[in-house]
Amino acid sequence: MRITAIIAFLLIAVTVLGAGCTEEGLPPQQGAGDPVLHDAVSGINGELESVRTSAGESARVLGEAGLTSAAGKEAVRQAMLNHPYAESALVITKDGTVAMAVPENYAGVVNSDLSAHPETERAVRERVPIVSEVFSLEEGYSGVAQSYPVFKEGGEYLGFVSIAYRPDALIDRVIAPLTNGTPYDAWVAQTDGRVIYDTTPEEIGRNLFSDPGYQSRGLQEAFTRIAAEPSGSLEYSFWDRNWERNVTKEAKWDTAGIDGAEWRIVVTRSMDTGEQQAAIRERTPAADAAEEMEAFVAGAALYAREHGRTDALAAFNNPDGEFVRDELYIFAYDMNGTVLALPFQQGFIGTNRSGVHDSSGVAYIDGMSRIAAEGGGSIYYVYPNPARGYAEELKLGYVLPVDETWFVGSGIYIPEVGTGFNTSVRETLVQRVKAARDFAQEHGREAACAAFNDLSGDFADGGAYVFAYGMDGTTLALPYQPEFVGTNRFGLEDRYGVRVTLLESAAAEAGGGFVYVTYYNPDTDLDGLKLCYVAPVDGEWFVGSGVYAGA
């Protein structure tokens, strides 16, 4: 089935971009941005201090019970659960050998010799709490390691415990509630220029001093000043959030960080409000909703095959061409997530957006790529709707492959379907799934799935139940639909054509993540929009749970 009567207005407007790249100008006006900046700095410091406290408690238990003790492992596991953005934790001896890894997904690094790693050398040498800069962790991803020394009673140094996380996940927990629905955006950088957070996710990971897009003299002068000065303010011009044109912004920055970290927190707002309103592109409502969208995308894919990639992309990128129709327009990406066509956001063309996520954490570009590789289909994501003051609204996208190297798609807003998955709701969901994953790793698949399928047990709590699937789509646990246990649901589509199990399996294979689906709610006996979080138990299967919109 497909949506049959969705009316959505799509306005492409100019608004604010997070990452600030500047031109010289007059001093900015003081005032409205200061409380946002103050709260951002204090909130980020609070998160860092909270991780330090958890690491310190783990270190205390490890010092008393031993670096490989069961009590120490449980303390580290609990520390991880205290911080939903935490990805992994290592306990490392004073000789630089990994003694323990949590969760079990990273058990393969135990006994690894990390003594030559700069972060290990620093932790062993300084023997104090440390917040590292971003680096490639032994666990296989880039992140920050926040470490705490372990001392035995009597003062003997044993090593250290290190909790690792992606800094953008920690920072977003603070920044998103401060900037969502406001004229403000924010970005955060290390003093070496590496962008570790941005409300425009495409900027994360770039370097202010070396990225080709930042090489104007004015930008480099401004970045040098921001990196050198702990606080300040200036004006600049850079792409708007839609990457459609340059706008003038004001920026104010301050510094957050503890235990060696020095993060520049920059809050921006556009100065071109009047011009923004004049630049809004009026679009008319679509009448046929999703069926029209799917036919539109199918026509674009056919056009691309018939006319070739170069001519097709030129046509798709023409905002006045045949592939812009009412609120619909065609976008195109290669299978690796690089933008090929975005008619109203052409500043993004050539940018790799793999890993970009929406406000609920759904990596929708990666999801589109996977769906296209599987032959095409639908996906949900939340996106600011310029027709409604850039309110975050659910969008239904549809993509089709042109060939094995690239795909085309389009999307429509569904404003009548609320989301409401705030930070607290999402973090509770993540903690529930990680606790289920830890249970499964401790007790094994058979015992864990029996517990997940037990309607009288702890894991079958109405709409908050835990489910489990094999990576191939085999149903392992589904307490309110036991008739599906043992069946393969890899091809399952929800009533709007979204490949539920495929997207969940893809998120699990990527190490865990969020997915939107429409699915049966045992609390209401009706289908409802559901935000799911999944986490791999190992390379063969995963666990997950969800929260329903409005729950």
Residues 313-337: pLDDT tens digits?
999 999 999 999 877 899 999 999 9
Regarding whether 357 and 325 lie in a shared domain, the answer is yes
**Is the domain of 265 the same as that of 311?**
no
Least Cα distance to 175 among 191, 193, 187, 190 occurs for 187
Residue with tokens 């795909």: 407
Order of strands, edge to edge, in the sheet holding 263-270? 195-198, 184-190, 263-270, 246-256, 232-239
Least confident of 13-17, 342-346, 501-505: 13-17
- In angstroms, the CA 370 to CA 438 distance is 28
| Cβ–Cβ under 8 Å, residues 360 and 421 | yes
On whether the CB atoms of residues 19 and 252 are closer than 8 A, the answer is no
Q: Return the CATH number at 500.
A: 3.30.450.20
> 433 and 536: one domain?
yes
3-state SS of 363-422 is: CHHHHHHHHHHCCCEEEEEEEEEHHHCCEEEEEEEEEEECCCCEEEEEEEECCCCCCCCC
pLDDT higher than 80, residue 419 = no
Q: How far is CA 445 from the centre of its chain?
A: 28
Residue 121 domain flag: no
Q: Which of 358, 379, 413 is the last residue of a domain?
A: 413
Higher pLDDT, residue 360 or 112: 112
Range scoring the smallest mean pLDDT among 91-95, 364-368, 515-519: 515-519
Same structural domain for residues 367 and 304?
A: yes
322 within a domain of the structure (yes/no):
yes
pLDDT at 242: 58
The confidence score (pLDDT) of residue 1 equals 31
Same domain, 514 and 434: yes
- Please report whether residue 473 resides in a domain: yes
Q: pLDDT-based confidence at 495, cuts 50/70/90?
A: confident
Distance of alpha carbon 184 from alpha carbon 33, whole angstroms? 8
Q: Look up the domain containing 294 and give its range.
A: 289-413
466 in the same domain as 443: yes
The number of C-alpha atoms within 13 Å of 153 and in the hemisphere containing its C-beta is 4
Return the closest-CA partner of residue 538 out of 476, 493, 491, 483.
476
CA distances from 459 to 61, 303, 360 (A): 29, 50, 23
Beta bridge partners of 92: 98, 160
Residue 529 parent element (H or E):
strand 526-536
In a shared domain, residues 176 and 215: yes
Least trusted range by pLDDT, from 13-22, 52-61, 207-216, 348-357: 13-22
Report the C-alpha gap between 487 and 483 in whole angstroms: 8
DSSP string, 303-342: HHHHH-HHHHHHHHT-TTSTTEETTEE-EEEETTSBEEE-
418, 549 in Cβ contact below 8 A?
yes
Which DSSP category does 26 fall into?
A: P
3-class DSSP state of 535: strand
Report if residue 143 sits inside a domain: no
Chain-centroid distance, C-alpha 504 = 15
Quick count: other Cβ atoms within 10 Å of Cβ 509? 15
Give me the mean pLDDT over the 458-466 stretch.
Answer: 90
Number of folded domains that form the chain: 3
Quick: pLDDT tens for 257-297: 999 999 999 998 887 644 333 333 333 333 347 788 999 99
In this structure, the answer to whether residues 445 and 542 fall within a common structural domain is yes
Residue 84 domain flag: no
Q: What is the mean pLDDT of the chain?
A: 86
Q: Is residue 33 domain-resident?
A: no
Q: What separation, in Å, do the N-terminal and C-terminal C-alpha atoms of the chain show?
A: 25
Whether the Cβ atoms of residue 534 and residue 511 lie closer than 8 Å to each other: no
Structural tokens at position 523: 């609390």
Residues 486 and 377 in one domain: no
Are 441 and 496 found together in one domain?
yes
pLDDT at position 243 is 60
Q: Are residues 543 and 445 in the same domain?
A: yes
Q: Give me 444's structure tokens.
A: 């094994």
Backbone angles phi, psi at 8, to 5 degrees: -140, 140
Q: Which of 50, 59, 127 is nearest to 89 (CA)?
A: 59
Final residue of a structural domain among 413, 440, 467: 413
Helix (H, G, I), strand (E, B), or coil: what is residue 72?
Answer: helix
Asked if the peptide bond before residue 103 counts as cis, ω within 30 degrees of 0, the response is yes
Is residue 104 situated within a structural domain?
A: no
Amino acid at 356: V
* C-alpha count within 13 angstroms, C-beta hemisphere, residue 248: 13
- Whole-angstrom CA distances from 423 to 52, 87, 215, 515, 533 are 21, 17, 36, 15, 13
Q: Which of 231, 247, 279 is the last residue of a domain?
A: 279
What is the model's pLDDT at position 272?
Answer: 64
Residue 533, pLDDT score: 97
Tell me if 446 is assigned to some domain. yes
Residues 393 and 441 in one domain: no
What mean pLDDT comes out for the span 158-180? Answer: 93
Of the candidate ranges 205-214, 309-318, 473-482, the one whose mean pLDDT is the lowest: 205-214
Write down the pTM of the prediction.
Answer: 0.74
